[in-house]
Amino acid sequence: MNLKVKTISNIGGEVKAPPSKSYSHRAVILASLADGTSKIHDMLFSQDVLSSINACRALGANITKKDDYLEVIGTNGKLHNSSEVPIDLGNSGTTLRLMTSIASLADNEVILTGDDSLQTRPMEILTESLASLGVCAASINGNGKAPILIKPGYVGGETSILGNVSSQFISSILISAPLSENGVDLFVLPEFKSRPYVNMTCDIMAKFGVKIENEFFVRHEDCDRESKNCRIDEFKIPKQEYKSCDYVVEGDYSSASYLLAAVAIYGGNAKILNLFKNSKQGDKLILNILKKMGAKIEIFDDYVEISSEGNLKGIDVDLSNAPDLLITVAILAALADGTTNITGVKHARVKETDRIATTCSELKKLGCKLKEFEDGMSIEGGIRSGTVDSHKDHRLAMAFSLVGLKHDIEIKNGEVFDVSFPNFIEAMSEIGVELELI
């Protein structure tokens, strides 16, 4: 189906940001590993998160959706795979990466798989790092990608992993480490990208009763040649148990970026609720980006107010710690005056799509002048109406719909927004943007 803007009224008002996808994944997984019953409030029930819920159920957690919370009766780390077929994770790369380590805690074999897109996601860096911890996880097709067969056994010990590919690999080891036989000492080699996502993991692990020690040191022989970054992070996770708790999922800055960007592009005033001032989410960077581009931003304890005249200017921005903002910022750049230079997102090439390549190719269809680089792009403001393809990437579909605030546009395969933001159309309507699927 195609997604397009139907009508636009006065942009603004008040809308609640959807719950964080990253925290929702982690909350249901940790609750499933915990001893006792947890209640998760304000849970996001997107396609990706449902994949995590289904995987946790298959491994023994008792999960029930109540009227206003998700009840999770945990396994106390004693997992058993009840699925007679490979566990299908759909398109959720987060679930695949987080659950690969966790699946080794089961007392029988687990096979994790997904759709065609998920089976293109690289996994070797994680499986090789896990091998040092006594975990046997291997690609069934021998290409380093899903389907992944995970055998029982997680001894623990010491391992290292590259920090410049996916923070989810690091989070996967951290989450599973307390339930290994001997605990884990994990070294993250430079350059450490998307660090805020790992900070989020450590934050929610603490809420479920697990302590992590994080230290760093400098070793010049391990310098990243491009960045000259020689910092090595060390995470010490002794053997522990997760404890059940009541947990409230905070609002998602990634999803809220589309609401905020809509106001910034068209002009207006809005209040976005459920965005926490002290959030550890790296995508909170969107507030600074919009401010630099010309919008007025006011940050309160649990909401954000934005106002704009609709006149944005190009900026230079490093998205190394907020790669999920790439496509949103690219659209903002294409609709701004001047040139915007986006850097630091080489790791965005291994998301649902190669997001640098797909974003550039679709912007070119709209007459955008740009230059593509290995780790980003340079965009000159100015585009026209047209039709683009989402490549079945939820973030591309939502971000390109913002073009419709200034120009006519249709996004093919535009229905994929429900991967992370099921009520995207309803939320946009609350601020005056009527979208439709045709």
Q: Read off the pLDDT of residues 170-207 as tens digits, 9 standing for 90 and up.
A: 999 999 999 999 999 999 998 888 899 999 999 999 99
Between 422 and 222, whose confidence is greater? 422
Residues 204-214 have a mean pLDDT of 97
pLDDT over 60 (residue 223):
no
CATH superfamily of 21-248: Enolpyruvate transferase domain (3.65.10.10)
The pLDDT value given to residue 356: 97
Q: Where are the domains of the chain?
A: 3-18+251-437, 21-248
Whole-number Cα distances in Å, 423 to 81, 183, 225, 248, 418 = 32, 40, 44, 19, 7
Which residues on neighbouring strands pair with residue 185, listed in sequence order?
158, 236
pLDDT over 90 (residue 217):
no
**Residue 122 pLDDT grade (very low, low, confident, very high; cuts 50, 70, 90):** very high
The pLDDT value given to residue 79: 98
**Residue 264 pLDDT grade (very low, low, confident, very high; cuts 50, 70, 90):** very high
Identical fold for domains 3-18+251-437 and 21-248, yes or no, is: yes
Residues 324-347 have a mean pLDDT of 97
Lowest mean pLDDT: which of 122-136, 162-176, 208-222, 281-295?
208-222
Enumerate the H helices of 252-324 as residue ranges.
253-266, 285-293
The pLDDT value given to residue 172: 98
Strand pairing category for 110-113 and 87-88: parallel
Alpha carbon distance 73, 99 (integer Å): 18
Between 256 and 10, whose confidence is greater? 256
Please report, for the chain, how many H helices and E strands are present, in that order.
12, 24
**Residue 74 pLDDT grade (very low, low, confident, very high; cuts 50, 70, 90):** very high
pLDDT over 60 (residue 222):
no
Residue 324 among the catalytic residues: yes
Catalytic residue selected from 88, 185, 283, 324: 324
Taken in order 74, 80, 82, 88, the sign of the CA dihedral is positive
Q: What percent of the chain has pLDDT over 90?
A: 93
Average pLDDT, the chain: 96
- pLDDT tens-digit readout, 43-68: 999 999 999 999 999 999 999 999 99
Enumerate the H helices of 234-388 as residue ranges.
253-266, 285-293, 326-334, 355-365
**Residue 220 pLDDT grade (very low, low, confident, very high; cuts 50, 70, 90):** low
Q: What percent of the chain has pLDDT over 70?
A: 97
The pLDDT value given to residue 219: 64
Chain-centre distance for alpha carbon 181: 29
Alpha carbon distance 22, 94 (integer Å): 8
Between 191 and 393, whose confidence is greater? 393
CATH topology of domain 3-18+251-437: UDP-n-acetylglucosamine1-carboxyvinyl-transferase; Chain (3.65.10)
The pLDDT value given to residue 216: 84
